[in-house]
Copies of this chain bind each other. A is one copy, B any other.
Amino acid sequence: MNGIAGAVELIEVSPRDGLQNESVPVDTTTKLELIARLLDAGQRRIEVTSFVNPNKVPQMADAEALCERLPHHPDARYAGLVLNQRGYRRARASGRLHEVCLVVCASDSFGQRNQGQTIEQGLAETAAIVRAARADGIASSVTITVAFGCPFEGEIDTARVVGIAQALAEQQPDELVLADTIGVAVPSQVSAVIAAVRERIGNALPMRGHFHNTRNTAIANIVAALQAGVSRFDASVGGVGGCPFAPAATGNVASEDVAYLCQRMGLALSVDLERLNDTARWLGERLGRSLPGMLSRAGGFPPRAAG
């Protein structure tokens, strides 16, 4: 439809973004089993942990211990979130990460609450880290969070997102991520924001989408992004990972739901849907609750047995 074709790349964020707000502690061995299962299912780019203050995010306190034990898979590309230069130094010292994920908020209110940074402070921090990572041979992506709406400021002006994207493009990271952190975006908005950013920064910097299914729009937003030429998306197996500001709500779009969409639309995406479904069910059992991803309950189509 409307020029959607080619290959899609998923960035599996369940070990980090998915688990970080889980109230039940998840031990390192379980995280490693999750990562091994994701690799078995065909996921290759995996956000495995974050190097942040363990007092603030206890679930990620085992970052170094996890990195030491990461599977040595020839095609795996492991990523870690860092919010500042101290975190970056820890990530680099782990010696196992292919890329670092950085963050700038599109709203000062959200940025100050979430990571104690204004937009300007965030941009200064990413500039230093992107430069250091480049020198160290580590790839970097920068996510603009709450790019489609903020729980404190409401609507976010597209011009502000475009301005941040331009400042980031000048820093020359390897990827720019537009994030609907609280799941409020709708497809027309996704189209408009991507088009506005592209118009300003051109096509040199690859873009990636991060959508939450909080209001049931994530899959539609991914389709809108695909129509706008974006083909890389964050996703979390089982849809694990909510937003601390909306505890009852669904968060990250489920990897298996995105994979079903893409494969049934004829897009190239080398993941095994049944193994992703198995992993979603396994993770739900480990976390002791039903996860919001839908495909693992419904099954693929056509059913394999029916050909």
Report chain B residues within 8 Å CB of A186.
260-261, 264-265
Binary B-proximity of A81-108 (CB < 8 A = 1, otherwise 0): 0000000000000000000000000000
Partner of A188, one of B184, B214, B219, B265: B265
Report chain B residues within 8 Å CB of A220.
187, 219-220, 222-223, 261
Complex interface residues of chain A between 279 and 307 (CB less than 8 A to chain B): 293-295, 297-299, 301-303, 306-307
Residues A249 and B2 in contact in the complex (CB < 8 Å), given A149-B302, A216-B219: no
Complex interface residues of chain A between 118 and 159 (CB less than 8 A to chain B): 149, 151-152, 154-155
Partner of A215, one of B187, B250, B260: B260
Partner of A223, one of B218, B224, B265, B295: B224
Report chain B residues within 8 Å CB of A213.
216, 294
Q: Is A191 touching B2 in the complex (CB atoms < 8 A)? A: yes
Indicate whether A192 reaches chain B with its CB closer than 8 angstroms.
yes
Binary B-proximity of A228-269 (CB < 8 A = 1, otherwise 0): 000000000000000000101110011001001100111000
Indicate whether A227 reaches chain B with its CB closer than 8 angstroms.
yes
Q: Is B294 touching A216 in the complex (CB atoms < 8 A)? A: yes
Q: Kindly state the separation between the CA atoms of A254 and B213 in the bound complex, as whole angstroms.
A: 14
Report chain B residues within 8 Å CB of A224.
1, 223
Q: Kindly state the separation between the CA atoms of A84 and B4 in the bound complex, as whole angstroms.
A: 42
Q: Is A155 touching B1 in the complex (CB atoms < 8 A)? A: no
Interchain nearest-CB distance for A278 vs B (Å): 16
Q: Is A306 touching B154 in the complex (CB atoms < 8 A)? A: yes
Report chain B residues within 8 Å CB of A298.
183, 214-215, 246, 248-250
Q: Is A302 touching B223 in the complex (CB atoms < 8 A)? A: no
Q: Chain B: which residue is nearest A293 at the CB level?
A: B216
Q: Kindly state the separation between the CA atoms of A184 and B265 in the bound complex, as whole angstroms.
A: 11
Q: Is A215 touching B294 in the complex (CB atoms < 8 A)? A: yes
Q: Kindly state the separation between the CA atoms of A264 and B217 in the bound complex, as whole angstroms.
A: 11
Q: Kindly state the separation between the CA atoms of A154 and B264 in the bound complex, as whole angstroms.
A: 13
Complex interface residues of chain A between 179 and 201 (CB less than 8 A to chain B): 182-184, 186-189, 191-192
Report chain B residues within 8 Å CB of A301.
149, 154, 182, 184, 215
Q: Is A1 touching B187 in the complex (CB atoms < 8 A)? A: yes
Residues A1 and B191 in contact in the complex (CB < 8 Å), given A215-B257, A294-B214: yes
Partner of A4, one of B149, B188, B303: B188
Cross-chain pairs A/B with CB under 8 angstroms, 13 sampled:
A2-B191, A149-B301, A152-B306, A155-B302, A186-B264, A187-B220, A187-B265, A189-B265, A214-B298, A216-B218, A216-B254, A219-B219, A248-B298
8 closest A-B pairs by CB: A154-B302, A220-B220, A184-B301, A216-B257, A249-B298, A1-B191, A1-B188, A216-B294
